[in-house]
Structure 1
Amino acid sequence: MNRLFRSRWQRWINRRIPRSDVQLLTQRNLFILPTAAGVVFGMLLLIMLITGINYQNSLIYLVTFLLGAVFVGAMHQTHRNLSGLELTLVQAGEGFAGDDIVFRLRATAGKDDAIALTLSANDLSVAVGYVPSGQSVDVALPVPSAYRGYLRPESIRIETRFPFGLLKAWSWMRPMAAGVVYPRPIAAPEVLSTLADGEQTASSRSPEGNDHAELRPWREGDLSQRVMWKRFARSGQMVVADWEADKGSPHWLDFNAFPGADHELRLSYLSWLVLERGRAGARFGLNLPGQVIEPDSGAAHVTRCHRALAVWGEEKPRDAFAEPHGTRTGMDTSRSGNAMAGERS
């Protein structure tokens, strides 16, 4: 029975507050109820009223009706504190799984000031002290994450108990935009990419393979495919063909380079490798089943690769559905099957 009631209540709320990145609070979507202190206050008023009736004491009547007027006035003020307020989702956050993803919102007051507001999502809350009438205040709201993928809070609650804490007025915002949660980085083992290093520039090479290369001594971390083995056999010196002088021959980060690891672990390995390459300022490319990101370097390239790892195999949340901690509840069977088939081939 309780589950049925909650289901019907949620459907009613969803119809009354549809998903949108801009939410205007009006009488249609604002709710107000007494707090625990307000319930006790109301019970005391009732006891005082019964006492006044019993003893026909004018002073008790006066105090009871005066406090009752204060209660009614507080109810109107609490409701007006949120009425006309507009919430706008400015930016859906990005970050790593397990971190709090920051969603940036803007609260714009209507014709009345908004005082002592609290915004919350998934047990994390942010207090907003004061929003002057007609002005805006930006709020950074953290939302907890657990898995990689898209992250869209089911609802963001806004509440106020101003002025006396006897009543609380609240509403929800159900955002449309979703944040992106990157795979949690896990230190990757030393592996070699299954891609031939520099194969993307093969068309620019001469038949000898070194007309556009710069030769340099071998350094730790260089792939064996780049060593000039014929020269090593003749002279015993290990030199490497550096293709950066032409179009570059980057170290590829390859999804298929971790045999035996499950998909999520592979993505975590790649996330760690992307971070390492980004810190070093190295040029690299990313190879995922069904998607290849061409070699590049810089912060924008690192972010692009992380986003690709975050949403690989995921579907963007639809209007009617959202997971509280992202959308990774299981890999899509068709994508998984295709990826494994490619791996076997």
Structure 2
Amino acid sequence: MKNPFRNRFRRWINRRIPRSDLQTFSQKNIFILPTGAGVVFGLLLVIMLLTGINYQNSLIYLGTFLLGAVFVGAMHQTHRNLSGVELTLIQPGEGFAGDDIPFRFRLRAGRDDAIAILLSCEESGHAPVHVHCGQAQDVSLPVHSAHRGYLRPDRIRIETRFPFGLLKAWSWIRPVSAGVVFPRQVPAPEAFSTVEDGEESAEVRSVEGNDHADIRPWREGDLSQRVLWKRFARTGQMVVADWEGEQGSPYWLDFNAYPGADYELRLSYLAYLVNERGRSGVRFGLNLPGQIIEPDSGPAHAARCLRVLATWGEERPRDAMAEPHGTRKKQRETTSQWVTEGQA
């Protein structure tokens, strides 16, 4: 059962701090409370004051008022330490599901130094940073991911306890931009693409009979049917035959090549294959229901394919639909229809 007071507080915070990739902190959105040490410190001041009243001791009065002045000064300095700070999300992260996705922020101090500033998101955080007045510093905050899709943290907390650690001043930034989480990599079983490549597909099945074939050593990412297994049985050398026109017949990574697996597992297979092909430099294309990426090679092509796999069937998070950690919104009916058509 959800806590109604917590939900009411969350709605109040969301109204007070709207979503934005740029947040400037002031007295309107900075909160300050004593820490555990500050509460104990305050209780000791009360005890000292009661003791001074009871014994009418001037030295106890003096000590109590001096320590009370230190507490009040620390309160103003803690609030001032965060006031005027500007926090900007400059680059949402990318990564595979289950990993920590780095989000890059830029801290810019106001008229005063921003000392011991800490950014955190639930259990993840970074070491406190010191930004001199008028200067900026980039900070990378890891955000944990669980599923593929868009990742948008609900709230990023900014906090300071300088000086003395008696009080803490904090606020939040609620980003608009979302990171991208690629499907979790699962080693893919051997499968054959259903994409038709014309006459060149038939040539693949008769590589050894091609007079224009060039023999080269096997490289990671080569199809097993292109290996000259007879020569491997005779010599123990694993070689592959390249022939004229093969460069125009790229290897397709096909969603429909795994009919017995659910669509999330298929995407994990494809993410593994895309990562392998990207590292080996093999030319490949990606075939998904409703979306096709033409064959290409290189890191940029592999990154584009991974982004497509991450966001396939997903809807970019919107303000009214936001949930903690950018929970992905599935188009379940559409996705099920795609899968059914692919299996057919």
**TM-score, scaled to structure 2:** 0.87
2:186 aligns to what? Answer: 186
2:114 aligns to what? Answer: 114
> How do 1:67-86 residues align onto structure 2 when only pairs under 5 Å count?
67-86=67-86
From the superposition, tell whether residues 326 and 243 of structure 1 become closer, same or farther in structure 2 (CA, over 3 Å): farther
Structure 1 unaligned regions, length at least 5: 203-212, 228-237
Structure 2 unaligned regions, length at least 5: 202-210, 229-239
| Percent of aligned pairs sharing the same letter | 65
| Post-superposition offset of 1:241 | 4.7
For residues 87 and 121 of structure 1, the distance between their equivalents in structure 2, rounded to whole angstroms, comes to 14
For residues 43 and 4 of structure 1, the distance between their equivalents in structure 2, rounded to whole angstroms, comes to 32
From the superposition, tell whether residues 222 and 74 of structure 1 become closer, same or farther in structure 2 (CA, over 3 Å): closer
Per-residue displacement from partner, 1:256-281 (whole Å, max 9, x unpaired)? 00011001100000000001111110
For residues 326 and 70 of structure 1, the distance between their equivalents in structure 2, rounded to whole angstroms, comes to 42
| Post-superposition offset of 1:127 | 2.2
| Post-superposition offset of 1:240 | 6.3
Aligned partners of 1:158 and 1:170 also within 8 Å? yes
Q: 2:245 aligns with which of 239, 243, 246?
A: 243
> How do 1:138-153 residues align onto structure 2 when only pairs under 5 Å count?
138-153=138-153
| Post-superposition offset of 1:222 | 4.3
Deviates more, 1:318-327 or 1:262-271: 318-327
For residues 91 and 48 of structure 2, the distance between their equivalents in structure 1, rounded to whole angstroms, comes to 52
SS at match of 2:196: coil
| Post-superposition offset of 1:46 | 0.5
> How do 1:59-74 residues align onto structure 2 when only pairs under 5 Å count?
59-74=59-74
2:279 aligns to what? Answer: 279
| Post-superposition offset of 1:239 | 6.8
SS at match of 1:294: strand
From the superposition, tell whether residues 332 and 137 of structure 1 become closer, same or farther in structure 2 (CA, over 3 Å): same
For residues 152 and 198 of structure 1, the distance between their equivalents in structure 2, rounded to whole angstroms, comes to 43
Aligned partners of 1:20 and 1:176 also within 8 Å? yes
Aligned partners of 2:279 and 2:299 also within 8 Å? no
SS at match of 1:279: helix
From the superposition, tell whether residues 2 and 255 of structure 1 become closer, same or farther in structure 2 (CA, over 3 Å): closer
> How do 1:155-166 residues align onto structure 2 when only pairs under 5 Å count?
155-166=155-166
Whether 1:334 aligns to 2:336 is: no
Per-residue displacement from partner, 1:53-104 (whole Å, max 9, x unpaired)? 1111111110000000000000000000000000000100000001100000
Aligned partners of 1:151 and 1:323 also within 8 Å? no
| Post-superposition offset of 1:326 | 4.4
For residues 77 and 239 of structure 1, the distance between their equivalents in structure 2, rounded to whole angstroms, comes to 73
For residues 2 and 328 of structure 1, the distance between their equivalents in structure 2, rounded to whole angstroms, comes to 21
| Post-superposition offset of 1:242 | 4.2
Counterpart residue identity of residue 265, structure 1: L
For residues 183 and 268 of structure 1, the distance between their equivalents in structure 2, rounded to whole angstroms, comes to 5
> How do 1:197-236 residues align onto structure 2 when only pairs under 5 Å count?
197=197, 215-216=213-214, 221-222=222-223
SS at match of 1:101: strand
Cα RMSD over matched residues? 2.4
1:170 aligns to what? Answer: 170
For residues 41 and 324 of structure 1, the distance between their equivalents in structure 2, rounded to whole angstroms, comes to 35
For residues 171 and 87 of structure 2, the distance between their equivalents in structure 1, rounded to whole angstroms, comes to 11
Aligned partners of 1:122 and 1:144 also within 8 Å? no
| Post-superposition offset of 1:325 | 4.2
Structure 1 runs of 4+ aligned residues shifted over 6 Å read: none
Whether 1:319 aligns to 2:319 is: yes
For residues 300 and 38 of structure 1, the distance between their equivalents in structure 2, rounded to whole angstroms, comes to 52
Counterpart residue identity of residue 8, structure 1: R
Aligned partners of 1:242 and 1:249 also within 8 Å? no
| Post-superposition offset of 1:128 | 3.0
Aligned partners of 1:214 and 1:243 also within 8 Å? no
For residues 71 and 168 of structure 1, the distance between their equivalents in structure 2, rounded to whole angstroms, comes to 12
For residues 241 and 214 of structure 1, the distance between their equivalents in structure 2, rounded to whole angstroms, comes to 5
Per-residue displacement from partner, 1:211-263 (whole Å, max 9, x unpaired)? xx9644698744769x9xxxxxxxxxx97654245xx2100000000011001
Counterpart residue identity of residue 93, structure 2: G
Counterpart residue identity of residue 97, structure 1: A
Counterpart residue identity of residue 145, structure 1: S
For residues 83 and 285 of structure 1, the distance between their equivalents in structure 2, rounded to whole angstroms, comes to 51
2:204 aligns to what? Answer: none
From the superposition, tell whether residues 327 and 290 of structure 1 become closer, same or farther in structure 2 (CA, over 3 Å): farther
Deviates more, 1:215-224 or 1:117-126: 215-224
| Post-superposition offset of 1:342 | 1.4
Aligned partners of 2:317 and 2:328 also within 8 Å? no
From the superposition, tell whether residues 77 and 243 of structure 1 become closer, same or farther in structure 2 (CA, over 3 Å): same
| Post-superposition offset of 1:198 | 5.6
**TM-score, scaled to structure 1:** 0.87
Aligned partners of 2:193 and 2:254 also within 8 Å? yes
1:298 aligns to what? Answer: 298
For residues 156 and 32 of structure 2, the distance between their equivalents in structure 1, rounded to whole angstroms, comes to 17
